[in-house]
Amino acid sequence: MSTQKSVRQQADSVEENALRLDQEKAEQIVDALNADLADSYVLYHQLKKHHWNVEGAEFRDLHLFFEEAYETVEEGADIIAERAQAIGGVPIAGPANQEEHATVEFEGEDVYDIRTSLENDLEIYGDIIESLREHVELAGNLGDHATAEILREILVEVEDDAHHIEHYLEDDTLVVSDAMER
């Protein structure tokens, strides 16, 4: 095993890229992508937490929804990270760095009722949707139409999951509580 270590690229740097995207423009886009990546992992961990802790009459549906949702977020995060690397950047990877770059906040370690959990998720989804829209526009304005398209595709998935959460939060339900029966 080799004991020699050499850094190939500094974490916060952006190098020239084979895609011929101007380095200055690439730096702006990599910063945006790293924020999106960090936000994705905050949401991923929160959805995973809710997947583990969901209870109640709608357990199975929500358990499965959370699993699909965090898998979707993780797929998007992987695509974002690979794009940052493709345009000469270094995708953020460590938890501390992700926390530092995130623009959304994890709800914490406490376990909340499912309605509160879903409301907290919807809040993060909303923030991510706004950020993705801004970054689609940024990439397009900087002439990086491929990144704009990649983010647009991720945005569609994020909006779809947010819409599902919105449905879960509606008042109409088939579940009857003890208080309603009396």
Mean pLDDT confidence for 96-118: 95
For residue 61, count other CB atoms closer than 10 A to its CB: 11
Look at residue 144 and tell me if it is in a domain.
yes
Look at residue 56 and tell me if it is in a domain.
yes
pLDDT for residue 19 is more than 90: no
Look at residue 7 and tell me if it is in a domain.
no
Mean pLDDT confidence for 53-61: 93
Look at residue 178 and tell me if it is in a domain.
no
Please tell me the total count of domains within the chain. Answer: 1
Q: Percent of the chain at pLDDT above 70?
A: 93
pLDDT, one tens digit per residue, over 130-147 is 999 999 999 999 999 999
Contact yes or no for 116/55 (Cβ under 8 A): no
Contact yes or no for 91/80 (Cβ under 8 A): yes
pLDDT for residue 181 is more than 60: no
Look at residue 16 and tell me if it is in a domain.
no
SS3 sequence, the chain? CCCCCCCCCCCCCCCCCCCCCCHHHHHHHHHHHHHHHHHHHHHHHHHHHHHHHCCCCCHHHHHHHHHHHHHHHHHHHHHHHHHHHHCCCCCCCCHHHHHHHCCCCCCCCCCCCHHHHHHHHHHHHHHHHHHHHHHHHHHHHCCCHHHHHHHHHHHHHHHHHHHHHHHHCCCCCCCCCHHHHC
Q: Quick one: pLDDT at residue 175? A: 65
What tokens does 152 get? Answer: 């647009």
**Side chain identity at residue 85, one-letter code:** Q
Output the average pLDDT for the chain.
92
Q: Quick one: pLDDT at residue 50? A: 98
Mean pLDDT confidence for 54-76: 96
Segment (H or E) for 108: none
Look at residue 85 and tell me if it is in a domain.
yes
Length of the chain: 182
Look at residue 103 and tell me if it is in a domain.
yes
Which CATH number covers residue 66?
1.20.1260.10
Q: Quick one: pLDDT at residue 2? A: 65
pLDDT for residue 53 is more than 70: yes
Tokens 């919105």 correspond to what residue? 166
User: Which range of residues forms the domain containing residue 37?
Assistant: 23-169
Q: Quick one: pLDDT at residue 179? A: 54
Among 18-22, 29-33, 76-80, the least confident range: 18-22
C-alpha to C-alpha distance for 154 and 126, rounded to whole angstroms: 14
Q: Quick one: pLDDT at residue 146? A: 97
